[in-house]
Amino acid sequence: EGKPGYRDGNDYWRLYNYLENTRALDVINRPEDAFAAAAGFGGFLSVLSDFDAWLIQPVLPDFHNVSYRIHQLDEAIKENRVGRWEEVRAELEKIKIFEPAVVQIFQRINRGEVPVRITHNDTKISNVLLDEQTLKPIAVVDLDTVMAGSVLFDLGDMIRTFVSPVDENEADVSKVAIRPEMLAAMVGGYHQATKGILTETEKAMVIDAGKMLVFTQTIRFLTDYLIGDVYYKTLYPEHNLVRTRNQLRLLSLLVEKEAQWKAIVKQAFSMH
């Protein structure tokens, strides 16, 4: 019928052109894959950079609102719906240590220190289709989170999902790490594809973005654990707690060697 979507009762299905000879990666094992995936998201930002972001409806209000996520956690602690509060006291203490600095980062976005752009807001590796042969980025997919936001949301989520050799489900936190070569490749690919549209403030806040998104995801996992695992799919009772500890470790690593990571980011911006 030539329509952009299909309605099935109260459900709507968006239709896409099928892109042949493309693939999506689940993990990043090579810097060139980090570069290509980041370039895909950077190209997405660049193509939409002259479009009025406020014309896009906010599909998920407060999705990356740090203050709102903290409020959700505080409410979950008060309710203690499934009696899990006592066992997560150590995690909560760590979260409260990181909280003030992350809130300050989010407040800088709220004050308008960085421009409002159309952002993807779910920049994991599997949301970029790469050419099967060349592994160059072809298209960004999974557009249900696209709305007005900050480029820091996309950069932060890329750091969260690109730089560690293990994902958020890894229970052995000693395996969580930050791979400098992946960070450099990610920033290089994004910078090359955004064609100089990023402001100096946006560039300077890349690691801040990582801290903010990892912190936010940490408290979202812990909140879900405290309310009985109602949002994220879990495979076993402690799954969300494992994810919380995993992300807390990644956050700690970002903070501990922050100067080193910022130097890598600065160099990557100057090279591409």
Which is nearest to 214 in space by CA: 180, 256, 248, 183? 248
Burial environment of residue 270 by CB neighbours within 10 A (0 to 12, 13 to 18, 19 or more): exposed
pLDDT digits (tens, 9 = 90+) for 113-137: 999 999 999 999 899 999 999 999 9
The whole-number average pLDDT for the span 203-224 is: 98
pLDDT digits (tens, 9 = 90+) for 66-120: 999 999 999 999 999 999 999 999 999 999 999 999 999 999 999 999 999 999 9
Query: Whole-prediction pTM value?
Result: 0.93
The values of phi and psi at residue 165, to 5°, are: -75, -10
Distance CA 179, CA 163 (A): 5
- pLDDT on residue 272: 65
- pLDDT on residue 44: 97
Mean pLDDT of the chain: 95
Q: Tell me 229's DSSP state.
A: S
pLDDT digits (tens, 9 = 90+) for 175-197: 999 999 999 999 999 999 998 99
- The 10 Å CB-count burial string (b at 16+, else e) for 99-133 is eeebeebbebbeeeebeebbbbbbbbbebbbbeee
DSSP SS3 for 44: helix
